[in-house]
Structure 1
Amino acid sequence: MSYAKSTFRHPNLKVNDIGLTYRDYEGVVSTLCAGCGHDSISAAIVHACAELSLPPHKIAKMSGIGCSSKAPNYFLGRSHGFNSVHGRMPSVTTGANIANKDLTYLAMSGDGDTASIGLGQFAHVIRRRLNMVYMVANNGVYGLTKGQLAATSDKGARNKAGDISPFNEIDLCVMALQLGASFVARCFSGDRQQLVSILKAAISHEGFAFIDIISPCVTFNNQANSKRSYDYVQQHISTAAISDFVPVKDEISCDLPAGNYDDICLHDGSLIRLYKSDENFKCDDKLHAINMIEKHKVKNQILTGLLYVNPAIDTYHEVNQTSDTPLNQLREDVLCPGQRVLSSINESFR
């Protein structure tokens, strides 16, 4: 089945500093389930890049495997892209970044792609301080393989098949903070205003920026006891899960004021409680961020917002003193200077 997107453009669409509209930052028509939180993330990325007036050809979209890793098809259709194998996106991004550090690297991953098979690579790309934006569309399930519980699922959560998670979840924000990420944030896919602002800050940040985005799955994670279920606040309707049927849902919005919490009604009538950090939050204190995340967990709240930022940390290229010119732009005589230079290097070790 193919999907064609209209080429019509309203003549009065606002253009950014480089003469492009937000439509120029879109991708193909989404084939994700109607109402999927991942589509809200794609829309937020489109608006963030358009508002920053980023040249699309100077952006590289990186992804692994999963519903989340399909999402880059639905934004930035004029940008570079690489869909890698399951859990291996960080190493592929590292190689691309070393070859051409002048691109803006936007990486899209999921809770399975990052917190399970890719956990080791996730840990080491943070340690390497690669200059990139690493987004996890976190729905707590394996959507492409029919809803098994992911490593980010809360203890006691029940999936569509009735299986209960017996283990504590992996908190990717806490892990990123402990491993040395210089920008850490958590957002909700339905809070467009906050998500766009966080994305713009992350893209502008020089260093490794991590965003954990709670993105509910309407198909395999819309049952009771799941903190990744989708908010259907507008109608407050509880929808029973029916096998092999994906109900059509509208994407919702959640405009939560800073320093407040809100109970979000889910498909089945259960609730998650989101708390948005305020201007008094100490974003430059890593230990404070970790403590606040854990304190809100005790209250059954999910802390959202910018949790930590350190603009002064050295990045991968600064630590390794790489060439100022991207490797893919160096001449052959510079990359392979010949026997004379090799002999002088060898002589320096004698």
Structure 2
Amino acid sequence: MSYIKPKFRHPRLPTNNLGYTIADYDGAISTLCAGCGHDSISASIRNACFKSSLHPHRIAKISGIGCSSKMPTYFLSRSHGFNSVHGRMPSVATGASLANRDLTYVGVSGDGDTASIGMGQFIHLMRRNVNMTYIVANNGCYGLTKGQDSATADLGSISKYGDVNGFDGIDLASLAILQGASFVARSFSGDKEQLEPLIRAAMAHNGFAFIDVVSPCVTFNNHNGSTKSYAETRDHLDAMPVDFVPMRDEIRTQYAEGTSQSVTLHDGSVIHLRKAVSGLATNDRQSALNTIKSNEDKARILTGLLFLDPDTQNLSTSLELATRPLNELGKDELCPGSKVLKSINEGLR
């Protein structure tokens, strides 16, 4: 079996506004299990970047450790990339974004990488409002170490080995809303019609954007009794279809009155939420939390855009950092001399 992709591309492949084809956003051939939901997320990220006409070399993809953190290999081979230590991706993402705010940052993590060893770093990433898109491929188990329950495994879920989980699972979307994330969404890896526009909206958002994606593990968590299998997830979805309209496109909507909600982002892009769940106000944290809990009590998985603060201020702006990347600053700017240093020290006394 070959893991090398052929270089031949059809000469009539469609191009985006920058002249790139979808092949320019490809990565290596996946070595994950056939049918893994993570591969669908990789494809959605690739498609979102192509449709949003982002330069591949202006994107930085960052991950931790786990099946999910292998995903950046499988999309955007022409972008920057960093595979960090288990649970420590937020530190790398924070440092990189502060050093160069001109790149689009995409962090890919898993429920173990985020909800267990990386929980502390994840929370600080949200409260600082680092300007990035953070995607969790959530399958409720540790697929890389033979399927043990993760911290997001639902109460009562049955493992492949017949064990019943006796602990409440951590709801990462609710946690993100509670801890101050300025963009929170949930989706399903098998629903690209919803996931792709959510990723595009997240990348256009000015601040920390979090997407929790239910992504079934076909090897260890796709059986009867699992609450994160393909069949169980599809049967319990409460999905809100989403449209994303970039600023450069004409904005037109044909939805019936009362069935759509439009939210304008800081750059003029618009998110259209169709048939929004009754009672959900996406600009109100408490309303979002109540609606998520209400669906959870009914054994439903609420997906779509759950919360958005369109007027948020990201970390680089809050700290009033240099607008130019640090590697573009000259010696005189980086080392302004003892007189400037003395004045700074005096200001701190």
* Alignment TM-score, normalising by the size of structure 1: 0.87
Aligned to 1:83: 83
Cα distance in 2 between the residues matched to 1:349 and 1:315? 25
Task: Write the deviation string for residues 36-76 of structure 1: whole angstroms up to 9, x where unpaired.
Answer: 00000011111100001100000000000000000110000
The answer on 1:274 being equivalent to 2:273 is no
Alpha-carbon spacing, 1:343–1:147, altered in 2? closer, same or farther (3 Å): same
Aligned to 2:334: 335
Aligned to 1:286: 285
User: What runs of 5+ residues in structure 2 fail to find an aligned partner?
Assistant: 241-274
Aligned to 1:168: 168
Residue 332 of structure 2 aligns to a residue whose secondary structure is helix
- The one-letter amino acid paired with 2:321 is T
Cα distance in 2 between the residues matched to 1:30 and 1:104? 23
Paired residues, number? 313
**Kept in 1: contact 2:133–2:210 (CA 8 A):** yes
Aligned to 2:299: 300
- Give the superposition deviation at 1:146: 0.5
Q: How does 1:44-59 map to 2 (within 5 A)?
A: 44-59=44-59
Residue 92 of structure 1 aligns to a residue whose secondary structure is helix
Aligned to 1:319: 318
- The one-letter amino acid paired with 1:337 is P
- Give the superposition deviation at 1:348: 4.0
Cα distance in 2 between the residues matched to 1:11 and 1:17? 17
Task: Write the deviation string for residues 54-100 of structure 1: whole angstroms up to 9, x where unpaired.
Answer: 00000000000000000110000100000001000000111111111
Residue 29 of structure 1 aligns to a residue whose secondary structure is coil
Aligned to 1:132: 132
Aligned to 1:309: 308
- Give the superposition deviation at 1:166: 1.1
- The one-letter amino acid paired with 1:300 is A
**Kept in 1: contact 2:45–2:199 (CA 8 A):** yes
Aligned to 1:41: 41
Residue 133 of structure 1 aligns to a residue whose secondary structure is strand
- Give the superposition deviation at 1:326: 2.1
Task: Write the deviation string for residues 159-218 of structure 1: whole angstroms up to 9, x where unpaired.
Answer: 112222111000000000011111000000000110001011001111000000000000
- Give the superposition deviation at 1:330: 1.2
- The one-letter amino acid paired with 1:322 is L
- Give the superposition deviation at 1:294: 0.4
Q: How does 1:167-246 map to 2 (within 5 A)?
A: 167-231=167-231
Residue 82 of structure 2 aligns to a residue whose secondary structure is strand
**Kept in 1: contact 2:111–2:151 (CA 8 A):** yes
Residue 41 of structure 2 aligns to a residue whose secondary structure is helix
- Give the superposition deviation at 1:2: 5.5
- Give the superposition deviation at 1:224: 2.1
* Alignment TM-score, normalising by the size of structure 2: 0.87
- The one-letter amino acid paired with 1:100 is N
- The one-letter amino acid paired with 2:168 is N
The answer on 1:109 being equivalent to 2:109 is yes
Aligned to 2:149: 149
- Give the superposition deviation at 1:349: 5.0
Cα distance in 2 between the residues matched to 1:349 and 1:153? 48
Cα distance in 2 between the residues matched to 1:346 and 1:109? 40
- The one-letter amino acid paired with 1:329 is E
Residue 337 of structure 1 aligns to a residue whose secondary structure is coil
- Give the superposition deviation at 1:331: 1.1
Aligned to 1:255: none
**Kept in 1: contact 2:134–2:210 (CA 8 A):** yes
- Give the superposition deviation at 1:29: 0.3
- Give the superposition deviation at 1:12: 1.5
Cα distance in 1 between the residues matched to 2:304 and 2:172? 14
Residue 30 of structure 2 aligns to a residue whose secondary structure is coil
The share of aligned pairs that are identical, in percent, is 58
**Alignment root-mean-square deviation, CA:** 1.4
- The one-letter amino acid paired with 1:274 is L
- The one-letter amino acid paired with 1:73 is T
Cα distance in 2 between the residues matched to 1:128 and 1:165? 33
User: What runs of 5+ residues in structure 1 fail to find an aligned partner?
Assistant: 232-262, 266-271
- Give the superposition deviation at 1:230: 2.3
Task: Write the deviation string for residues 92-112 of structure 1: whole angstroms up to 9, x where unpaired.
Answer: 111111111111000000000
Cα distance in 1 between the residues matched to 2:38 and 2:174? 22
Task: Write the deviation string for residues 202-243 of structure 1: whole angstroms up to 9, x where unpaired.
Answer: 011110000000000000001222121124xxxxxxxxxxxx
- Give the superposition deviation at 1:279: 3.4
